[in-house]
Structure 1
Amino acid sequence: MAIFCFPRPQSFLRLIPLRTATEFILFLLGVNKVTGLYGILALLTGYPLNPLQLSHYIYSLAVLGPICYLSPAIRGQQDSSSTVKVIALAWVYVLDTVINSVYTMLFGLGWFALLARQAGEGSGALDGMGQGTMNETAGFTSPEHDVSKVDIFTTPAPGAMPGQEARLYAISGSLSSAVLSQGSVSTLAVLVALWVIRVYFCVVVLSYARSTLRAYIASTSATSYSTASDANIAENPFRHGRAEGEGWRGALGRSMLRFPTKRYWLGRDESQAEWASGADARLEGARGLRIKVPGGSVGGVGERERRARSGTGPSVPMLPLKGKAEY
């Protein structure tokens, strides 16, 4: 048995079917990508955008196109074209999750770099990354120097009899205090929770694509698990030699079924294997079973007589009339 088995949920939180959940998840993704259009429109108003923000808005618009093109395949006909589109849509969502995580990490590093700069500590290569817009919208970068505590040290002034000289030393917060402050920790907790939810959404979308592929295999392929070259792997519908495996669509289908593993897409489910082994065991135990039908034996009741007494035997034949009736 494998040490790690990729999750294969049959429903969303055991409450919602996979197809309905997939449609809702992709709808949320489409709404999220529409924000890229507003970011591009902000350029027309003269709003300054740093290169990181501009690349994110352009990427959002680039992903919105495939989502709108592939989403109708969820409720389309169960053919090879729709199956490839559903699997491609699942991988678009997974790749978008990875790329969005990178963008979130970069924006987060820029934000903490801004906090470190305000705390009086440099942040190396991260200093100034995306901070032009943050400085204008943060609301706390003016005045430039902010302190959390002020210590006053007094020393006698040289040559001055009646007075003293006061010196002020501003002690700023450290980088760790800026990152691990109450607001920053809560922000990190929210980001981690959102990432966990997004990963579960990826599992749901992949599971729906997997169920769509297996339904297509069951309806079109004549090769079952027991007759395939590998008893635990079903036939790949996009293999060479089949109509679905020709051209770029077949190459795309074969490449998409390689990850996370080929067994995930085409392998036999453990529940099916356990059921099959249990059925084989029951059949093996039933081979020695012999059912004897009681017959007419000496000192016993014959089967015909027993059925006649119980009313389940054949009807009694009518006796022919031996003479004519007299009136």
Structure 2
Amino acid sequence: MISSRSSCRLRLPRPRSFLGFMSLQTGTELVSLALLFNKATGIYGLLTLFTGFQMSILQFTAYFISIAVIAVLAFCLPHIRKGTPFQNLLLAWVYAVDTIVSGLYTTAFATGWYMQLKEMQATVASGAPEEEEFQMVEPRGETTTPVRDDGIDTAFSMVLIIGFTLIRIYFSLVIMAYARAVILRFVDERVPESDEDDESGSAPNPFAEGAPLGEGLEGKIGRYMISVGKSYWLGGRKEDEEWAKDVHSKFRSSRR
């Protein structure tokens, strides 16, 4: 009983809507289209190779990943409205992994930029003239020393990076929640429940061997994707109800 409650507390958030007033399906479509336009820059990045532009391995791999994400989006986008479990589950995984990879690339680029900035500052400081030569003469004859705002720029850049990363995480949770809803709806309509599933509180796996979606390559890939975080993807209504009751009881106790 204690373990079940602790698992409910540590579960991933499951948004019920997108931005509070749009459906998860609409949110998934908008987020996917935004990602498609964002990754389209990878095509132009690879085209610059034909112009003789030199790029690092980090840049090349980032552009190559963008092309791969575009291919997956082209495969999955038509199935958002159709509510196809495999394509929506694949889209959720790709977006989540791309969020992590993009965060790592952003961190790497930001670190490189910061180190380069520090190196430039050290070079200027080592070869700079005396402090008096940096003084600026204003019209009234007063002298002032220019104030460096590199620290402010760096802090502002870090705030932007963290902000965009949090937005990407929220978008990822929206797509995952919609994929979960699609899977559970398919299970309710097409997969018969078993006694074992009723006792565990989780829905049957539609990608299991012998299940409607368990055949072929998609079935194997689907089983692997479902196996990671199975309690999230197939967590039934019992788990949702227990979590809601737990949150409601905490809310009531906090108001006393």
- TM-score range for the pair, normalised by the shorter chain length: 0.7 to 0.9
Q: Does 1:252 align with 2:221?
A: yes
* 1:43-88 deviations in Å (ceiling 9; x for gaps): 2233332222222112211221111111111122x5xxx2111100
Q: Indicate conservation of the 8 Å contact 2:40/2:70, yes or no.
A: yes
Q: Does 1:67 align with 2:37?
A: no
| AA at the equivalent of 1:45 | T
1:227 Cα deviation from its structure 2 partner:
6.6
> Partner residue of 1:294?
none
Match of 2:16 among 10, 22, 26: 10
Match of 1:263 among 209, 231, 239: 231
Please give the alpha-carbon distance, in whole angstroms, between the structure 2 residues aligned to 1:17 and 1:51: 40
SS of the equivalent of 2:130 reads strand
Q: Does 1:193 align with 2:169?
A: no
Normalised by the length of structure 2, the TM-score is 0.78
Please give the alpha-carbon distance, in whole angstroms, between the structure 1 residues aligned to 2:172 and 2:128: 43
Please give the alpha-carbon distance, in whole angstroms, between the structure 2 residues aligned to 1:44 and 1:274: 55
> Partner residue of 2:211?
242
Please give the alpha-carbon distance, in whole angstroms, between the structure 2 residues aligned to 1:84 and 1:57: 26
> Partner residue of 1:48?
54
1:240 Cα deviation from its structure 2 partner:
1.9
Change over 3 Å in CA distance of 1:88–1:46 after alignment to 2:
same
| AA at the equivalent of 1:89 | L
Change over 3 Å in CA distance of 1:271–1:151 after alignment to 2:
closer
Aligned residue pairs total 223
Please give the alpha-carbon distance, in whole angstroms, between the structure 2 residues aligned to 1:266 and 1:4: 16
Deviates more, 1:238-247 or 1:110-119: 238-247
Q: Does 1:216 align with 2:186?
A: yes
Change over 3 Å in CA distance of 1:185–1:7 after alignment to 2:
same
| AA at the equivalent of 2:185 | A
> Partner residue of 2:248?
none
> Partner residue of 1:145?
124
> Partner residue of 1:131?
none
Write out aligned runs for 1:25-174 (5 A).
Answer: 25-76=31-82, 78=83, 82-120=84-122, 145=124, 150-151=130-131
Of structures 1 and 2, the larger Rg is shown by 1
- Which structure 1 segments of 5+ residues have no match? 121-143, 153-176, 277-327
SS of the equivalent of 2:12 reads coil
1:246 Cα deviation from its structure 2 partner:
2.5
| AA at the equivalent of 1:244 | L
> Partner residue of 1:312?
none
SS of the equivalent of 1:187 reads helix
1:273 Cα deviation from its structure 2 partner:
5.0
| AA at the equivalent of 2:101 | I
The Cα RMSD (Å) is 2.6
Q: Does 1:207 align with 2:161?
A: no
Q: Indicate conservation of the 8 Å contact 2:190/2:212, yes or no.
A: no
| AA at the equivalent of 2:216 | G
SS of the equivalent of 2:213 reads helix
- Which structure 2 segments of 5+ residues have no match? 133-147, 246-256
Higher normalized contact order (CA 8 Å, seq sep 6+, divided by chain length): 2
Please give the alpha-carbon distance, in whole angstroms, between the structure 2 residues aligned to 1:187 and 1:236: 44
Change over 3 Å in CA distance of 1:25–1:275 after alignment to 2:
closer
Please give the alpha-carbon distance, in whole angstroms, between the structure 1 residues aligned to 2:244 and 2:62: 49
Please give the alpha-carbon distance, in whole angstroms, between the structure 1 residues aligned to 2:129 and 2:168: 41
Deviates more, 1:106-115 or 1:46-55: 46-55
Q: Indicate conservation of the 8 Å contact 2:208/2:223, yes or no.
A: yes
* 1:150-199 deviations in Å (ceiling 9; x for gaps): 357xxxxxxxxxxxxxxxxxxxxxxxx99x70100000001001001100
| AA at the equivalent of 2:226 | L
Which one has the bigger helix percentage? 2
Which one has the bigger strand percentage? 1
| AA at the equivalent of 1:95 | V
Please give the alpha-carbon distance, in whole angstroms, between the structure 1 residues aligned to 2:68 and 2:240: 40
Q: Indicate conservation of the 8 Å contact 2:36/2:73, yes or no.
A: yes
